Structure 1
Amino acid sequence: MFLLFALLAVLLIIGVPVGVALGLASFAYVIVAGLPDVVVLHSMVGGVDSFPLLAVPFFILAGHLMNTGGITERLFAFARALIGWMPGGLGHVNVGASVLFAGMSGAAVADAGGLGNVEIKAMRKAGYDVDFAVGVTAASSTIGPIIPPSLPMIVYGVMASASIGQLFMAGMVPGMLMAVSLMIMVAWCSWRRGYPRDDGFSLRHAAVSFRHAFLPLMTPALIVGGITTGAFTPTEAAVAAVAWTLFLGIVVYRSLTWRHLLRVMFDTLQTTGAILLIIASAAIFAWILVSNQIAAHLSGSILSISDSPAFVMLAILLIVLVLGLFLETVAAITILVPVLLPVATSVGIDPVHLGVVIVLALMIGLLTPPVGLVLYVLAAVSGVSFDRCVRATAPFLIPLVAVLLLVAFVPQLSLALPMAVGK
């Protein structure tokens, strides 16, 4: 096992992509342990052989289509008309737009790359410090994978054999708590720094913006409403989201050309390929951990100290937060779930609640070095150095960590809605 972890650490340090590093480290272990080579192929194929995972490329495609088809600008304009009048208005708009976009994409990187470009330019033009603009954009982008639909929730649901529909519902309240906590931080920073607000609220302007954004706003209603009512599965909801977005971009707004579509398809294939490689490689890694009874050893170690659900949850949080510093979200979920789920369920922690907590904790990892994928995206979008992005985002980790602890130790915040809908 030392060889496995040591080789993985070396590969990550020298900059080998996560999916490749996981695969190489696992393959080396299989060879050294004298296991048959077929184990590698069997585990990789088994890791991606899941119908719900088909939703991943479709939600990625929907996000790319929205960014390319001008839908993100309409969402930003509506959020600006609705809450831009508040002190530090564009900071609040930044958070509000991320909430709206979260109901369509489900990926933090898509939010940061698509909306981030629009938001940072608007905030710079209005006189906001670029550090503040980058910080609030990075933090608000993490709402995307919490509010449904959510790509990490889909991966967790597959790994944990949990209901993806219930996971989607469980993310609603925590996602809104994240938004409220970030808006409180924005209000405090704006008051201290004297940031401006947009012109006063205009009902007419809000109505016009809503009319322009109405059809895009129907996307989350289509996805969540369809899953909740049982009209279609999460995978079918992803297909419906793509069809609806194509209809808007090609027929309604006529903003998507064949050149745009080809570029979007290529980007989707590239992103999907990277994610599936990570899942397949992490499946081998997870199989090795399970076959060596790492879950049993970890469970015994934790429970030997205390079998209190609160203590176990705290231990899980620490493990996830530390691993989230070094691994991409999908890889971390694929590795962690087989190890942590038995520990959690042994003390009565609900798998759906655990899923929300793990995804929320891993979102913080997107904002912290050395991996910090969202920070790298925003560094490219804003032209600000990576180190400066890290410092700009640091204050916004405070409300996110506070929400994480609240959700982790008050299970009703994530479980109440799926229980109510399920009745």
Structure 2
Amino acid sequence: MLILIVSFLILMIIGLPVAVAMAGSSLLFIFVSGSVPDVVVAQRMISGVESFPLLAVPFFILAGNLMNIAGITGRIYDFAVALVGWMRGGLGHVNIIGSVIFSGMSGTAIADAAGLGSIEIKAMQDHGYDTEFAVGVTAASATLGPIIPPSLPFVIYGMMANVSIGALFVAGILPGIFMTALMMLTVAYFARKNNWGSDVAFDWKRLGGATLEILIVLAFPLGVWLLVERGVSPNLATLGAFVLLLALDWKFNFSAVMALMTPVILIGGMTMGWFTPTEAAVAAVIWALFLGLVRYRSMTLKNLVKASFDTIETTASVLFIVTAASIFAWLLTTTQAAQALTAWILSITSEKWVFLLLANLLILFVGCFIDTTAAITILVPILLPLVLKLGIDPVHFGLIMTLNLMVGLLHPPLGMVLFVLARISKLSVERTTVAILPWLIPLMLALIAITYIPSITLWLPKYFDMIK
């Protein structure tokens, strides 16, 4: 166990990628110990990626890339400006609302930061906002990507913890809304402190148009439900409502109704049992292709090829991490490291709230140094036995782990969102880090609330009978 952990830390310190460090330390342990047959390495690598839920990973990545190249991000931004741009500190609120909407499409914080972030930061700079403030609010709002469904980290966690991915998706809705409210309150505080005004003039027509689009989107599931209550089959009711929605959108040329329908389609389809979370990822790709090729006609063959190759590159990177982490995690289990850590923590405390505090500190620390996928793959086998032993719901713990790791993406030395935003804003990593620091306050408040008020996470899944 000592060889495994120490060699992993040394390889990380000298700058090797986390996947290579995990694979290298695992191979060194196998070579030195001689207790594990070589064929086991291949078997564990294959079993690590031979999973139906993991199919969701490339499809959600592709859906996010397609949304970016189809110009959906620009439509989302314009919609958010119409909805909240008239408030004090308007573009700060626009930044957050735009991330909320895009979160229902991409499922990753990096896609949010890279896609909407480039538009948002430039617009805020053009309106006179400090670059540091623009970067800070963009970084904080990007953490909503994996909390509001769909979510790639939820897919990985659900696979590792043997937890319903659909339940995790639904569990992320209320925490996402709660985090959104905290971030908008933070923008309001800065606006009042710095005496900022609005960025666009208040216009009843513009606000009414945005509100109408929201009402149309909300009317879709309500209309389906009313038709089903009157005896219409769910499939026929949905088809009829969808055809009506398409006709209205083509007639009046709404700016964002079809984009706003993405989370409705995904969550509604999973809730009604039409497709699994993995199949929802395929549905997201089909919807993105429909918007880019048919509805908006903004997608070219060249852009489509680029999005496909970007998806292949990102997917290969993620799955390499999963394969390396599966070997590493298996060795941690077979060397009794997980059991030793469990016994040690239980010797310190058997109180649930104390364990959650220690787990938060551990995951926050790990998230600053290790990629999200690798961190989940390593930590779940170690912490899940304790979670179950102390009576903590694994769905609740999945939200806690994911939010901790999203905060880790904002920190050096390996915070990917930090580096993406530093490149977009042309700030140094040091200045970008300082810009993000004030936004850790609402994120930490959200983490504390989500950790110690389980109903924020579990009420909706229980309401839909997805968990007991």
Matched, 1:265 2:308: yes
Counterpart for residue 385 of structure 1? 428
Q: Paired residue for 2:453, among 388, 410, 418?
A: 410
Per the alignment, residue 53 of structure 1 pairs with: 54
Structure 2 residue aligned with 1:7 = 7
Query: Mapping of 1:31-42 within 5 angstroms?
Result: 31-34=31-34, 35-42=36-43
Structure 2, unaligned runs of 5 or more? 214-253
Instruction: Tell me the equivalent position of 1:77.
Output: 78
CA drift at 1:33:
1.2
Partner SS, residue 196 of structure 2: coil
> Does the CA contact (< 8 Å) of 2:154 and 2:402 recur in 1?
yes
1:186–1:321 distance in 2 versus 1, CA, 3 Å: same
Distance in 2 separating the partners of 1:250 and 1:206: 29
1:207 is displaced (CA, Å) by 4.7
Whole-angstrom distance in 1 between the partners of 2:198 and 2:5: 51
Hey, what does 2:108 align to over in structure 1? 107
Contact 1:295–1:343 (8 Å) recurs in 2: no
Aligned pair partner of 2:279 in 216, 231, 236: 236
- Deviation digits for residues 40-92 of structure 1, max 9, x if unmatched? 11111111111011011000000001111100010111111101111101001
Partner of 1:348: 391
Q: Which moved more, 1:29-38 or 1:115-124?
A: 29-38
1:103 aligned counterpart, secondary structure: helix
Q: Is the 8 A contact 2:266 2:283 kept in 1?
A: yes
1:330 aligns with 2:331: no
Q: How far, CA to CA, are the matches of 2:164 and 2:456 in structure 1? A: 17
Aligned to 2:134: 133
Q: What does residue 96 of structure 1 align with?
A: 97
Give the whole-Å Cα distance in 2 for the aligned partners of 1:283 and 1:206.
Answer: 50
Corresponding position of 1:121: 122
Aligned partner letter, 2:17: P
Equivalent residues in 2 for 1:171-190, closer than 5 Å: 171-190=172-191
Q: What is the 5 A alignment of 1:356-375?
A: 356-375=399-418
Verify the 8 A CA contact 2:58 2:315 in the aligned structure 1. Answer: yes
Alignment partners' CA distance in 2, 1:234 and 1:55:
7
Work out whether residues 103 and 144 of structure 2, in 8 Å CA contact, stay in contact via their aligned partners in 1: yes
Counterpart residue type for residue 29 of structure 2: Y
Indicate the percent of aligned positions where both proteins have the same amino acid: 52
- For 2:343 and 2:401, the matched residues in 1 are separated by 21
2: distance between equivalents of 1:137 and 1:38?
46
CA distance in 2: counterparts of 1:241 and 1:208, whole angstroms: 26
Match of 2:327 among 270, 284, 289: 284
Output the CA distance in 1 between the equivalents of 2:207 and 2:31. 63
Q: Distance in 1 between matches of 2:154 and 2:123?
A: 31
**Is 2:40 aligned against 1:27?**
no
Distance between the aligned counterparts of 1:47 and 1:203, measured in 2? 54
Q: 1:55 touches 1:238 (CA, 8 Å); kept in 2?
A: yes
Q: Is the 8 A contact 2:61 2:315 kept in 1?
A: yes
AA matched with 2:68: N
Of residues 299, 304, 322, the one that matches 2:347 is 304
- Residues 1:246 and 2:295 are matched in the alignment: no
In structure 2, distance between residues paired with 1:33 and 1:160: 28
Please give the alpha-carbon distance, in whole angstroms, between the structure 1 residues aligned to 2:196 and 2:25. Answer: 50
Q: Which residue of 1 aligns with 2:203?
A: 202
Deviation per residue, 1:283-323 (Å, 9 max, x gap): 01100111112221111111112211111111211111111
* Residues 207 and 266 of structure 1, relative CA distance in 2, 3 Å threshold: farther
**Structure 1 residue 421: Cα displacement:** 1.0
Q: Give SS of 1:378's match.
A: helix
2:60 aligned counterpart, secondary structure: helix
Written as runs of structure 1 = structure 2, the 5 A alignment for 1:218-229 is: 218-229=261-272
TM-score (structure 2 length as normaliser): 0.89
Output the CA distance in 1 between the equivalents of 2:73 and 2:24. Answer: 39
- How far the C-alpha of 1:208 sits from its partner, in A, is 4.5
1:199-254 deviation per Cα after TM superposition (whole angstroms, max 9, x unaligned): 34323223555421001111111111101111110111110110011011011111
CA RMSD of aligned residues (A): 1.2
Between the aligned partners of 1:73 and 1:203, the Cα distance in structure 2 is: 22
Residue 294, structure 1, aligned to residue 340, structure 2: no
Residue type at the aligned position of 1:30: I
Deviates more, 1:22-31 or 1:336-345: 22-31
Q: Which moved more, 1:35-44 or 1:201-210?
A: 201-210
8 Å CA contact retained: 1:78, 1:206: no
Matched residue type, 2:465:
G
Q: Secondary structure at the match of 2:79?
A: helix
User: In structure 2, how many angstroms separate the alpha carbons of the residues matched to 1:46 and 1:201?
Assistant: 56
| Greater alpha carbon shift after TM alignment, 314-323 vs 281-290 | 314-323
Amino acid at match of 1:116: G
How far the C-alpha of 1:22 sits from its partner, in A, is 1.3
Structure 2 partner of 1:149: 150
The answer (yes or no) to whether the contact 1:162–1:351 under 8 Å persists in 2 is yes
Q: How many residues align?
A: 423
Q: Quote the offset at 1:23 in angstroms.
A: 1.1
Q: For residues 9 and 197 of structure 1, what CA distance do their matches in structure 2 show?
A: 49
Of the structure 1 ranges 391-400 and 190-199, higher mean CA displacement relative to structure 2 is found in 190-199
**Cα offset for 1:355?**
0.5
Contact 1:407-1:413 within 8 A present in 2 as well: yes
Please tell me whether Structure 1 or Structure 2 has the larger radius of gyration of its CA atoms.
2
1:171-212 Cα offsets, whole Å, 9 max, x none, are 111111111111111111122122331234323223555421
**Counterpart of 2:168?**
167
| Letter aligned with residue 215 of structure 1 | M
1:257-279 CA distances to partner (integer Å, 9 max, x unpaired)?
11101100000000000000011
**1:5-60: CA deviations, max 9, x gaps?**
22222322333222222111111111111121112111111111110110110000
Structure 1: tracts of 5 or more residues without a match = none
Deviation at 1:2, TM superposition (A): 2.5
Counterpart-to-counterpart distance in 1, 2:198 and 2:25:
52
Q: TM-score, normalised by structure 1?
A: 0.98
